[in-house]
Structure 1
Amino acid sequence: AKLAKPAAISACLEQTGHYSIAISKALHQHGIHALFLVNPRRIKAFGNQKLRRNKSDTADARLIARFLVAEQNDLTPWTPKTTENEQLTDLVRYTESITREIAKLKTKCEAAIDPIVLKSLSRRIKSEQKELAAIRLRINAIIKSSDTIRKSDQLIRSIPGIGEISSHLMLAEIPDLTHFSNARQLAAWAGVTPCHFVSGTSGRPTT
């Protein structure tokens, strides 16, 4: 059988972290540019709509293929991140990890009784906080070094209630903002688009 040329192939993957990114990079390098990474919630909702009953790797692959055929015109093709964007994602996710660790250590401090334990925990908290500050400086340096990222950062921070940390998180996790023509598209990509479910004529809708 004659294989289709890479440019004629479309591929769709569930966005499941570094595993899906590694596969996407490999496919992109081999010329498959009609490549789509989709929030798993969106594919699950599609499966529910189609009354999917089976759950297996084969069934999942078929469902994703059916989803791609039905929704491709409304999907945004995936493109590899720049080096700066990849660094930003890595650093921001690490700050989230450090922040959680600091919170755990503070909780342990509240429960600790022995002064030696308290001293040790306090020392670890200060060390983690110092590390966190250094990483955030690195994040800001990367943002300033890229005109595209810097402009996106300024745009995001113009939203009332969005500060430095929230902006960094959005820059790290959301692909190029220009891929979305409106807020609803972004919400759909994130899997948080409100949906109403009403049962009967007297039931109250739930979101």
Structure 2
Amino acid sequence: MQVIGNDMAKATFDVALPLSDGKYRTKAKFPNTTKGYTEFLAWRAKHAPDAAVGMEATGIYHEALARALVEAGVTVYVANPARVKAFGQAEGVRTKTDRSDAKLIARFFEAQRPEKLHPYVPPTPSEVKLRALVRRRDDLQEMLQMEQNRLEVADISVQQGINDVIRTLEEQIKQVRKAIQDHIDNDPDLRGRHQLLTSIPGVGDTSSAQLLAFLGDLNKYSDVRQVVAHAGLNPAQRQSGNYEGKARISRVGDANFRKKLYMPALTGKTYNPTLKAFAERLSEKGKPFKVIMCALMRKLIHLVWGVLKSGQPFEPEVVLA
């Protein structure tokens, strides 16, 4: 399988096409715009019309290009940057340039077993809007927390100004929350999935919106283990020779998605009978709090997968059976 490596940046992207002699055909600085996408498609049509395109998940930078390529009929693969970095470290890559990154990305995808690669499926326009609204709410929440922290230590001469900013942020958060709820309510698919998610004790309106935004369509995952890996919660065993270290979570996943699982798992530890019983068993075995929380987040993913795949609300007696 031939894969063109694509190294994305905010304004431009560079590409590398592996050749049969071990060398690469490269092209630098395509604009990260509609015009640049058209230029790249023409370049690909000339040099490798059947090649897939591989890229890293770079926040929002890769999304527009990936969507444009899929709409043009190109197979696109998207990988977590941490996996590509680990692959490069295993290769002993030392040079760091945009073109060398594009070459590394191409090698990474060509080294993968075909059954492990899953073509990128762009989010629907409705999911794109929800993700934007959720990100905006999260940004506003962070700004609010920063201002509240400043207020605690601020001189009296600036407290009024900080309070004004806090009130403005609180009003904006209220407006965005309403926009999120209205958007979910007005989309039958999102509304149905939201109702299933909130049937799980511990998953409220806020957590449900976050999961819908960052989990996306379950059809892009072959099984629940891929969702666990997407969150970076799959175990990574450290082993060398006769030494076998403690298993830790890989963290080779979407850190933002992993972060969104923490609060519903923590709440579920108290109010969800399935998660509560699971946490108690782990605690009786002497597991530390962090280990228990990681296990609860993995368990929560299984519960989320179960209700969304079955289309049935959460039933603790079924899970515990």
> TM > 0.5 between the two?
yes
Does the aligned pair in 1 maintain the 2:77–2:120 contact within 8 Å?
Answer: yes
What is the distance in 1 between the residues matched to 2:53 and 2:121?
Answer: 13
Alpha-carbon separation, structure 2, partners of 1:202 and 1:18: 41
Residue 12 (structure 1) shift: 0.9
Q: Which amino acid aligns with 1:133?
A: K
The residue correspondences of 1:171-182 to structure 2 (distance < 5 A) are 171-182=212-223
By how many angstroms is 1:183 displaced?
A: 2.5
Aligned residues: 203
- 2:236 corresponds, among 167, 190, 195, to 195
Structure 1 residue 104 displacement after superposition: 1.0
Is the 2:121–2:220 Cα contact (8 Å) retained in structure 1? no
Q: Is the 8 A contact 2:184 2:190 kept in 1?
A: yes
Return the offset for 1:103: 0.5
Comparing 35-44 with 189-198, greater Cα deviation is found at 189-198
Q: Could you tell which deviates more after superposition, 172-181 or 151-160?
A: 151-160
**Runs of 4+ residues deviating >4 angstroms:** 1-4
Q: 1:134 aligns with which of 155, 175, 183?
A: 175
Counterpart of 1:106? 148
Q: Which residue of the other structure, out of 175, 178, 193, is the alignment partner of 1:152?
A: 193
Q: What one-letter code is carried by the residue in structure 2 that aligns with 1:182? A: D
What amino acid is aligned across from residue 197 of structure 1 in structure 2?
A: R
1:47 Cα deviation (Å)?
A: 2.7
Q: C-alpha separation between the residues in 1 aligned to 2:88 and 2:234?
A: 17
Check 1:130–1:2 CA distance in 2 against 1; reply closer, same or farther (3 A cut).
Answer: closer
Secondary structure of the corresponding residue to residue 211 of structure 2: helix
Q: CA 1:69–1:139 in 2, change beyond 3 Å: closer, same or farther? A: same
Query: Equivalent of 2:109, from 55, 64, 68?
Result: 68
Q: Output the CA distance in 1 between the equivalents of 2:104 and 2:188.
A: 40
Residue ranges of structure 1 left out of the alignment (5+ in a row): none
CA–CA separation in structure 1 for the residues paired with 2:243 and 2:73: 54
> Which residue is equivalent to 1:119?
160
Within 2, Cα distance between the matches of 1:28 and 1:109? 48
For residues 20-99 of structure 1, what are the structure 2 equivalents within 5 Å? Answer: 20-32=62-74, 34-71=75-112, 72-99=114-141
Larger RCO (CA within 8 A; separation ≥ 6): 1
| 1:98 Cα deviation after fit | 0.5
Deviates further, 135-144 or 181-190: 181-190
Contact 2:238–2:244 (Cα < 8 Å) also in 1: no
**Where is the strand percentage greater, Structure 1 or Structure 2?**
2
Higher mean C-alpha displacement, 178-187 vs 101-110:
178-187
Deviation at 1:160, TM superposition (A): 4.0
AA aligned to 1:109 is: L
What's 2:256 paired with? none
Q: Which runs of 5+ in 2 are unaligned?
A: 1-44, 249-321
Task: Find the counterpart in structure 1 of residue 276 from structure 2.
Answer: none
**Cα pair 1:14 1:20 within 8 Å, conserved:** yes
Match of 2:206 in 1: 165
Could you say if the C-alpha distance between residues 96 and 190 of structure 1 is closer, same or farther in structure 2, counting changes exceeding 3 Å? same
> What's the Cα RMSD here?
2.3
Residue by residue over 1:113-172, the C-alpha shift from the partner in whole angstroms, topping out at 9 and shown as x without a partner, is 31x522222222122111101111111111112222223323333444322222222222
User: How far did 1:87 drift?
Assistant: 1.1
